Amino acid sequence: MHLDIFNDDAFSLSQLTVAINDLPKTYNRIAEMGLFRERGITTTTASIERKGHVLSLVDARPRGAPGKPYTPARGKLIALKAIHLPQRTAVLADEVQNLRAFGSETDVQTVMTLLREKMAGMRRDLDLTIEYQRMGALKGLVLDSDGTTEIYDMFEVFGLTKTTHAMTLGTAGTDVLAKAIGARRKLEAKLGGAMFNGIRVLCSPEFFDALTGHPAVKDAFARWNSGEFLRTDYHNSGFPFAGMFFEEYSGNVAGVPFIPAGKAYMVPLGVPDMFMTLYAPADYMDTVNTIGLPYYAKQERMGFDKGVEVESQSNPIHINTRPDAVIELSV
């Protein structure tokens, strides 16, 4: 088997990009919820228009094309740049040298199997990074992988203030139902009449334990379904309370939790264009001004024909257009 095999069309930018997009998605919790609407854009920035407390996307159009019909009162335009997430691996000459086609497989199919294994690892890393950044957008602060470098602060960008609510779960006499309803009213006020179809509360393990262990919550569920709540571990499945659904979210990177200890986030569901992930094109000549895809992959020969280097990348923009309508709850 020879390195010239990588000249086959199967290893072109278009085919490798199809291959990495076709790999099974790593369904982390935010992805499973389908909270963020996804679409591709042809630019590397997204323009958000703010009118009062309402934020909306402005479509990119070809130069010279008529603008989108709009009401006269225009707001402030805010540009958010795509986050560039590249990573690289290599298929070395020695790896190809020792490969042999099996059964009816061709050499191309055999090498593609090896390459798919490498791309699958890169795809998992990209999916985890996207989950981490989406959780950041949900909370209003998107951070880089080091957990400290700020990419964008939604509250600062949009001129809004974080909405918080103390549940006072450390006090036995707290009326937890009233506290939860109070938080819901704050959410509804921030939405300003926008329609939603449910509320999901993503809880840190500490918050979830404090909630389920509170005497008022235990008493409320003591007679429900013959006391099943008191006998069942709901930390994986969650449970309904006060017209909302509470669940434990334990996502983390290198032991650093996505949700700080003792916190929870109350998230409205079904609000049009509240949560979006836009994908910009890759930074290759072949993809300039094309509609962005979630993932890209490309290969090129290494110096001295030592092998081929494979790059995968994603260029997302994660947007929460109503960050103040996500209520941060504390124990």
Looking at the structure, tell me whether residues 102 and 214 fall in a common domain.
no
Determine the structural domain holding residue 96 and report its residue range: 3-63+72-151+273-317
In this structure, the answer to whether residues 52 and 136 fall within a common structural domain is: yes
| Same domain, yes or no: 282 and 182 | no
- Contact in structure between 20 and 322 (CB atoms under 8 Å): no
Q: Is 76 helix (H, G, I), strand (E, B) or coil?
A: strand
Do 268 and 288 lie in a common domain? no
Q: In the predicted model, what is the mean pLDDT of residues 82-104?
A: 77
Report if residue 289 sits inside a domain: yes
What average pLDDT score do residues 156-176 get? 95
Q: Which residue has the tokens 């069942």?
A: 232
Residues 111-145 pLDDT 10s: 777 888 888 999 999 999 999 999 999 999 999 98
Q: What is the largest CA-CA distance in the chain?
A: 74
Q: Residue 215: give its domain's CATH number.
A: 3.30.2320
Is 243 domain-assigned? yes
Residue 265 in contact with residue 259, Cβ under 8 Å?
Answer: yes
Pairing of strands 275-279, 37-40: parallel
CB 245, CB 198: distance < 8 Å: yes
* Spatial contact of 184 and 269, defined as CB atoms under 8 Å apart: no
Among 96-100, 217-221, 235-239, the range scoring the smallest mean pLDDT is 96-100
Residue 90 in any domain: the answer is yes
Would you place residue 72 in the very low, low, confident or very high pLDDT band (cuts 50, 70, 90)? very low
Report the sign of the C-alpha dihedral through residues 99, 104, 107, 113, in that order: negative
Distance CA 4, CA 8 (A): 8
CA distance 57 to 291: 16
Could you give the number of structural domains in the chain?
Answer: 2
Specify the length of the chain in residues.
331
Q: Per the domain annotation, does 156 fall within a domain?
A: no
Distance between CA atoms of residues 141 and 158, nearest Å: 12
Provide the CATH number for the domain around residue 279. Answer: 3.15.30
pLDDT tens string 170-206: 999 999 999 999 999 999 999 998 999 999 999 999 9
On whether residue 46 sits in a domain, the answer given is yes
Give per-residue pLDDT as tens, 283-293: 999 999 999 99
Q: Are residues 144 and 167 in the same domain?
A: no
Average pLDDT of the residues of the chain: 85
Closest alpha carbon to 40 in 297, 291, 319, 295: 291
Torsions phi, psi for 63 (to 5 deg)? -60, 135
Better-scored residue on pLDDT, 199 or 233? 199
Same structural domain, 310 and 265: no
19-40, pLDDT tens digit by residue? 888 887 675 889 999 999 999 9
- 157 domain residue, yes or no: no
The mean pLDDT of 293-312, rounded to a whole number, is 89
Say yes or no: 18 and 139 in one domain: yes
Q: 242 pLDDT band (50/70/90 cuts)?
A: very high
- For the whole model, what pTM was predicted? 0.85
Indicate if the alpha-carbon torsion angle 295, 61, 273, 207 is positive or negative: positive
Cα dihedral sign, 309-82-140-123:
negative
Query: pLDDT tens digit string along 47-66?
Result: 887 766 566 666 555 555 55
Residue 4: predicted pLDDT: 61
